[in-house]
A and B are shown apart, each in its own frame.
Chain A
Amino acid sequence: MNEMVKVDRRDAKLALAHIYVAFIALGLGGLAGLLQTLVRSGKFELPANISYYTILTTHGVLLGLVLTTFFIIGFQFAAVSRTAGTFSDRVRFWGWVGFWLMTVGTAITAFFILIGQASVLYTFYAPLQAHPGFYLGLTLVVVGSWVSGFAIFAHYARWKKEHPKQVSPLLTFMAVANMILWLVCSLGVAATVLIQLLPWSLGLVDRVNVLVSRTLFWYFGHPLVYFWLLPAYMVWYAIVPKIIGGKIFSDSLARLSFILFLFFSIPVGFHHQLMEPGIDPFWKYVQVVLTFMVAIPSLMTAFAMFATFELYGRSKGATGLFGWLRKLPWGDARFFAPFVGMVFFIPAGAGGLVNASHQLDQVVHNTIWITGHFHLTLATTVVLTFFGAAYWLVPHLSGRVMTKAMNRLAIIQTIVWVIGMTFMSGSMHFEGLLGAPRRSAFSTYGNSPQALEWIPYQIAQAVGGTILFIGIILVLIIITNLAFFAPKGETEFPVAEVAEGAERTPLAMENWKLWIGITVALILIAYTIPFIDMIQNAPPGSKGYKLW
């Protein structure tokens, strides 16, 4: 029972390949981020005529799309192999096909960004028009991720067949839910790229319906955020309890929250388009309501985490209202980094509620507040959780152990990240409230008094960005050590058990036909009428612009 369950070596190789690409993307994308904050401080200019927007696109694509997708799929492959058994040769083969499609796609996309043919930012909004190679590369990344998703589904189906009337392992269930979410939402981005943007950039059609393309993008773009977040929740629900020596508060609650994310994270894209004309306010309202519904599973998660920590602390004799906090293993980076990620999700979630409210969005829309917001959600909550996971996942897969010195460095890394992000994201939030735009290089806007007010905040962002880049160097040192230089040995892949007092998980939790049916129904309700409206009342469309 207590014998250490290891991920099969062949599966480990597949997972590690993904994680290596993810951390290479972190290094390159992080460097681009550092340069951006320096440019925006007004004290630094990029050499050799490199455009700010090329760097900005590199940063967004490498960190928002490549780091995340590769880490998530690598982590999920490892988690599924660990909890639902070693992959068949066929599943592993398709896993590698997915990996190479994504890697080749990333290389093509990166090439066209770096030669300055695709400075369209990671949202690639029309009418900004990139080289067709940019769209083609992104298509390969998405198709590769689909192949990997189906490999996970096939393995899950085999497990279900071999274990009739049994509830699947929690981590496998969560990976399946996340890949269903990804598959359903990425249909939107595939549609806009293949039907609209690629033919338009190839010159096969002259004009593009901008509103339709933005709507399809945000049909994908918001659930994308949850595709990033759910693997962090996998770590919080199913792994962190084991690391601290506790139990999962409730398996059913964890699964229910994932099902609710599947329902409510997709039909909500309009809250990114609240300021756009051409969408009836009623449908914006419907999607705002659905957006607030998606806060519920996050609040459930917060409750479950507090409860897990408190139950553990009290089992160790903690007293008082918050005495249990003292019992947590603060010196263990595998716990500390994800915990800090959880704490940062509180201001991140609060900002999210602001962004999703129609009137409040008028205060913050397209300001750098939004950039500050997703540097709390993705670049702190999710990324610190991924770092914390990598501290045991990489040595588990590479057959090594983390030394005390590396653990200490990982704790320092987390603290460095907190300091850097507090400076950077904090000043982005405040500067945004003063009206400073996002997605723009340094400018004093003709020395307007309002724009001059923003400069101190931009200097604070450069300070924060520099500290964060030091954090990136530290994590790269740690990961390189864990992958290639740490002492050989066996590291545990921690998977928590459910608390004894918890109710049994009902089998109905895995009624995927019903869950997918409800998901599709909600999408149709939220999108059908406004989408028909956009097409029937479409303006002539826009030709492409290359503003670089």
Chain B
Amino acid sequence: MAKEKMKGKATGEDNLKGTLASVFLLGFFLIFTWVSVYYLFLERL
């Protein structure tokens, strides 16, 4: 039964587009922070 639902077409309730967008935003923030401090490291070499 669980599998049937998994295979079914995504309905409004199964829509995880917001989650996809959220994890992308999170990833961009992590990369931005890392690159910012890396830039500081390079500047101070």
Q: Which residues of A contact B (CB under 8 A)?
A: 299, 302-303, 306-307, 310-311, 313-315, 319, 321-325, 346-347, 349-351, 353-354, 357, 359-360, 362-364, 433, 500-504
Contacts and interface: CB of A to CB of B under 8 A. Distances in A.
Given A433-B40, A501-B5, A310 B33 contact: no
Contacts of B15: 310, 314
A250 to B, nearest CB: 11
Nearest to B8: A501
Given A501-B2, A502-B2, A346 B29 contact: yes
Given A350-B29, A359-B41, A501 B6 contact: yes
Contact of A360 (B22, B30, B37): B37
B22 to A, nearest CB: 4
Interface in B2-41: 2-3, 5-6, 12-19, 21-23, 26, 29-30, 33-34, 37-38, 40-41
Given A302-B23, A350-B29, A353-B30, A363 B12 contact: no
Interface of B: 1-3, 5-6, 12-19, 21-23, 26, 29-30, 33-34, 37-38, 40-41, 44
Given A363-B44, A500-B2, A504-B2, A306 B18 contact: yes
B19 A353 contact: no
Give 5 closest A-B pairs by Cβ, nearest first. A350-B33, A306-B19, A306-B22, A501-B5, A310-B18
A362 B41 contact: yes
Nearest to A360: B37
Given A306-B19, A350-B34, A501 B26 contact: no
Nearest to A313: B18
Contact of B26 (A315, A323, A346, A364): A346
A321 B26 CA distance: 15
Contact of B33 (A311, A321, A354): A354
Given A303-B19, A306-B18, A315 B30 contact: no
Given A363-B44, A501-B5, 15 more contacts: A314-B12, A314-B14, A322-B22, A346-B26, A347-B29, A349-B30, A353-B30, A353-B33, A354-B33, A354-B37, A363-B40, A363-B41, A500-B5, A503-B2, A503-B3
Given A302-B26, A500-B2, A353 B34 contact: yes
Is chain B's interface secondary structure helix, strand, loop, or mixed overall?
helix
Contacts of A307: 16, 19
A322 B15 CA distance: 11
A302 B25 CA distance: 12
Contacts of B29: 346-347, 350
Contact of B14 (A306, A324, A351, A501): A501
19 contacts: A306-B22, A311-B13, A311-B14, A311-B16, A314-B12, A321-B17, A322-B18, A322-B21, A323-B18, A346-B29, A347-B29, A347-B33, A350-B30, A350-B33, A354-B34, A360-B34, A501-B5, A502-B2, A503-B6
A364 B44 CA distance: 12
Contact of B38 (A321, A325, A360, A504): A360
